[in-house]
Amino acid sequence: MNLDDINVYVEKIENISVMRVEGSITSYTCEHFLEEVRYSNRKGGLIIDMEEVVAISSKGVDALKQISDLSYTSGNKIVLLNLSHNVKQVLNMLGLYKVFNIAPNEELAMKMASKQSK
């Protein structure tokens, strides 16, 4: 897989969608990533497992910001899980780490995603 590839797998666990993302979130892949997020978020809470995200560009960071806005407007929680080292590093450098709902494990992510946003 090169830096222009992304694979997104979604499964439903109870009433929560769990999206597993592999690859890079860049200008080449962010629109596909956002489409998958929008579709899954319409159905309820969403967990985005980012353990296999190898790189994120500035366009990918913009996509994450859009996801945060989408969570607020839809009323459905979006929780980030298993942030890869690269993603954590980028979010920390930009001072954005605390902007997102980030869970340390899948059990807590399920609890967070099942709550409605206010």
The residue-averaged pLDDT of 18-27 equals 95
pLDDT at 47: 97
83-116 pLDDT tens trace: 988 899 999 999 888 889 999 999 999 999 997 6
Residue 1 binned pLDDT confidence (cut-offs 50, 70, 90): low
Q: Do residues 37 and 48 lie in contact, with contact meaning Cβ atoms separated by under 8 Å? A: yes
22 CB-near residues (< 8 Å, 6+ apart)? 1, 6, 7, 8, 9, 52, 53
Beta bridge partners of 7: 22
Query: What is the mean pLDDT of the segment spanning 70-83?
Result: 92
Is 22 a residue whose pLDDT tops 60? Answer: yes
Structure tokens at 14: 């109870």
Among residues of the chain, what percentage have pLDDT more than 70?
Answer: 95
Domains of the chain, earliest start first? 6-112 (3.30.750.24)
Which pLDDT band holds residue 117 (cuts at 50, 70, 90)?
low
